[in-house]
Amino acid sequence: IDEAMQLKNTVIVNELSLPPVKIHCSVLAEDAIKAAIEDYRKKAATRETAAQSA
């Protein structure tokens, strides 16, 4: 997860050989990956707190 958080859109562009007109897709992908990880971390923290309270 930590490695995925370090992912940059430029790496996505290079790995997928995206043409210049599709670079915006790499920005969307980076944002989506980071948002999904943040959501996961928030939910995991909530579950952990609930488990400790029980």
- What integer is the mean pLDDT of 11-25? 95
Give pLDDT, residue 8.
Answer: 96
Task: Write down the pLDDT at residue 24.
Answer: 96
How far is 32 from 25, CA to CA, in rounded Å?
A: 10
- Decide: 40 and 1 in contact? Cβ < 8 Å: yes
Q: 50: pLDDT confidence band, cut at 50, 70 and 90?
A: confident
CA-CA distance, 32 to 27, in Å (whole number)? 9
Residue 54, pLDDT > 80, answer: no
Mean pLDDT across the stretch 25-44?
97
What distances in angstroms separate CA 42 from CA 1, 16, 20, 39, 45, one per listed residue? 13, 30, 35, 5, 5
Q: What is the pTM of this model?
A: 0.80
**What would the two tokens of residue 42 be?**
């928030």
Taken in order of first residue, the domains within the chain and their CATH numbers are 2-53 (3.90.1010.10)
Task: Tell me the average pLDDT across 9-30.
Answer: 96
